[in-house]
Amino acid sequence: MNKTKHILCALAIASAAVNMTSCMDKKNENPFFSEYTTPHQTAPFDKIRIEHYEPAVLEGIKQHQAEVDAIVNNPEAPTFENTVVALEYAGDMLNRVLSVFFNLNSAETSDEMQALAQKLSPILTEHSNNVSLNEALFARIKTVYETTDKSALTTEQQRLLQSTYDGFARSGANLNDEDKAKYRELTTELSQATLAFGQNTLKATNSFALNVTDSARLKGMPESLLEAAAQTAKEKGQEGWTFTLHAPSYSPLMMYCEDRDLRRQMYMAYNTQCVQDNENNNGELVKKIVNLRLAIAQLLGYESHADYVLENRMAENADNVNQLLDQLLEAYLPAAKEDVKAVQEIAARTEGKNFELMPWDWSFYSEKLRSEKYSLNDEMVRPYFKLENVIKGVFGLATRLYGITFEENKEIPVFHPDVKAYDVLDKDGSYLAVIYTDFFPRAGKRSGAWMTSYQEQFVKDGVDNRPHVSITMNFTKPTASKPALLTQDEVETFLHEFGHALHGIFAATTYPSMGGTNVYRDFVELPSQLMENFLPKKEFLSTFAYHYETGELIPDELIERIVRAQNYNAAYACIRQLSLGILDMAWYSRTTPFEGDVLAYEQKAWESTQLLPTVEGTNMTTHFGHIMSGGYSAGYYSYKWSEMLDADAFSLFEEKGLYSEEVATSFRKNILEKGGSEHPKELYRRFRGQDATIDALMKRDGIK
């Protein structure tokens, strides 16, 4: 064994004294140290243990650094192939390890894993900076960038060259030595702060449970939800019914429970996450994250973090973002006020004319009004949305549109019993991708829903390496007497994340950083939000919406009610989204450090969008993971930007036919397959033949 390997093995076992044989055994036992022998070389989750990550990360860093050194020390003149392409494919082992580690740190974490994440974070940041701040490497990239005949490159190659050069410049490569040292310090602090923010949020969510033993307090709650709450109580060793802050528990209580005090307790618990004076408080971390991002942006020559972020977005700058937000606010606010007025009126009829509608009343009374106006509520449609049938329906929609099929592959290892893995086959029967599905909440999974990848699609040495994607949700769980029956919102969420998955599945680019969802943040939500449009369509619902007990197909009359209610409170929902986008821009358009009160700043920032009374002590920012620990800082507007795109895009399906092969093929070829290999504006124009405006969105929402 050489000296380097011996040092690595010593690190892996925390400096314990080992002999050569035991060191090699450790490596041989670690699945990351060899090629995967699983179907499609998927991650061997059944063999991966917590002790495998650290040595594999350290070895991955070593290998990646060696590959970078080989590029730098190449005696040949820098070229696109020997510098840019070589760097693109470098770091394979490190990428494999980190894709598993960080995905599972969100979907199946533990205290031990979170502690390891904190330990590895500065090591990984240092390595990232060692690459991005490598002067000799950047000199080669800069030479290629300045001397290459761009017209001799394909469009994707041009994009790769540009993004590689920009990536280094935007990561401090042009800074002087003193500022590079400062950049290293700031980015290391930021990586640790964002990680801590996410961990605190997860702990705060998991630490709350409301146990109710008096059944009279749960009047109005549907039997299926009570059964789920009773099961939660049993799992926690409690009597009665237990409710948590996870969406399948929290949302129905807020919607159906007649006990206003219980609704208030749940609302306050949810909206004071990471505000309370305990170890999970994120107040100081918010300041730290905002100020670190500002400091990094200004070190790189930008006035604000928003200026830095938006340089590589469809929106291009803060003025264009604010123009969209202001335009939508002006268009939707009058209708949103009417939405609130209507809900206030039904509450007053029930509670008395002097009743003040509070935030914890909104879901309850707006659901009452929806039921009154449309004879519709979630419990009417839930029996038709058995999860197994919904899966068939959603997968079947992709079959109708694109000809692809899904076959469960039980030979593919999974990381939790709830997870299933499927082979995705193209319309000619050829292998296209692997997709994992993970539907139910658990203690080790963060809240929300997301799509991610364990392997990106790319072509290397003539081989098309197909993607391994995953969709993760927190849906209503099955109970002892009922299967998992979803709400309409949950089905919509499934469609949304599945749209992201299709973006990954259909990737057809050469370079891994160019394919799938590796696109501008304000373009990435187009494929996902487009899929949501199919939900209320009879042609879609009739393919899977069968009653879980009787087998009866969802009645036409119920579908008609769903369609009529489609725009119910659409204006209010739009203003809610705008409030989050405006809050995000308020934090990241700053040009001076923030030293004030987080709660007061939030209230001031989004006051123009607040349609209900503000409750003292509540705060969104302290658990707003999207913009603090996720990838949406100065980017939350993307949901509305993409909504503008998806409404405009879906109008073409409606014009040509819901399952139009022509439109679906064009969407696949021009949007889904291309990833970030071309500018999104060009891709969209090629698909749609025009730029999008808010007209189709306003028409769909019943505003215009």
CATH of the domain at 111: 1.10.1370.40
Angstrom distance (rounded) from CA 106 to CA 416: 13
Do 123 and 228 belong together in one domain?
Answer: no
Q: pLDDT value at position 704?
A: 82
pLDDT digits (tens, 9 = 90+) for 214-256: 999 999 999 989 999 999 999 999 999 999 999 999 999 999 9
pLDDT digits (tens, 9 = 90+) for 126-175: 999 999 999 999 999 999 999 999 999 999 999 999 999 999 999 999 99
- List for the chain the helix, strand, coil content (%; round to 5): 60, 5, 35
Confidence of residue 25 (pLDDT cuts 50, 70, 90): low
- Whether residue 314 is predicted with pLDDT greater than 70 in this model: the reply is yes
Q: Is the separation of the CB atoms in 502 and 527 below 8 Å?
A: yes
Do 257 and 388 belong together in one domain?
Answer: no
Confidence of residue 204 (pLDDT cuts 50, 70, 90): very high
| Domain assignment present for 280 | no
Instruction: Answer positive or negative: Cα dihedral of 668, 573, 534, 627.
Output: positive
Q: What is the mean pLDDT of residues 71-100?
A: 98
CA distances 9 to 20, 117, 159, 471, Å, are 9, 20, 40, 35
Angle of helix 111-132 relative to helix 92-107, nearest 10 degrees, comes to: 140
For the whole model, what pTM was predicted? 0.91
- Whether residue 4 is predicted with pLDDT greater than 50 in this model: the reply is no
Q: What is the mean pLDDT of residues 14-25?
A: 40
Do 169 and 229 belong together in one domain?
Answer: no
Tokens of 73: 């020390």
pLDDT digits (tens, 9 = 90+) for 344-383: 999 999 999 999 999 999 999 999 999 999 999 999 999 9
Q: What percent of the chain has pLDDT over 70?
A: 96
Do 166 and 252 belong together in one domain?
Answer: no
Q: 598 Cβ partners below 8 Å, 6+ apart? A: 283, 286, 287, 619, 621, 622
| Domain assignment present for 404 | yes
Catalytic residue among 379, 497, 643, 673: 497
| Domain assignment present for 312 | no
Q: Is the separation of the CB atoms in 645 and 519 below 8 Å?
A: no
Do 527 and 435 belong together in one domain?
Answer: yes
Do 13 and 159 belong together in one domain?
Answer: yes
Q: 253 Cβ partners below 8 Å, 6+ apart? A: 221, 225, 243, 262, 263, 266
Among 523, 551, 566, the domain-final residue is 566
Tokens of 218: 């749960």
| Domain assignment present for 702 | no
**Is 122 strand, coil or helix?**
helix
- Whether residue 125 is predicted with pLDDT greater than 60 in this model: the reply is yes
| Domain assignment present for 337 | no
Do 108 and 230 belong together in one domain?
Answer: no
Q: Is the separation of the CB atoms in 101 and 38 below 8 Å?
A: no
**Number of structural domains in the chain:** 3
Query: Residue-wise over 429-453: b if at least 16 C-beta within 10 A, else e?
Result: eeebbbbbbbbbbeebbbbebbbbb
Q: pLDDT value at position 26?
A: 60
| Domain assignment present for 16 | yes
Has 497 been annotated as catalytic?
Answer: yes
CA distances 477 to 232, 385, 647, Å, are 10, 13, 32
Residue 157 is part of which domain span?
A: 3-174
Q: What is the DSSP letter of 384?
A: G
Mean of the per-residue pLDDT values of the chain: 94
Q: pLDDT value at position 27?
A: 64
Q: What is the DSSP letter of 84?
A: I
| Domain assignment present for 194 | no
DSSP string, 566-635: TTTTHHHHHHHHHHHHHHHHHHHS-SS---S-HHHHHHHHTGGG--SPPPTT--SGGG-HHHHTSS-TTT
Do 145 and 238 belong together in one domain?
Answer: no
Do 393 and 526 belong together in one domain?
Answer: yes
Among 529, 544, 566, the domain-final residue is 566
Do 540 and 459 belong together in one domain?
Answer: yes
Do 162 and 223 belong together in one domain?
Answer: no
Do 538 and 402 belong together in one domain?
Answer: yes
Phi, psi angle pair for 553, to nearest 5°: -70, 145
| Domain assignment present for 497 | yes
Q: Is the separation of the CB atoms in 546 and 389 below 8 Å?
A: yes
Among 516, 550, 566, the domain-final residue is 566
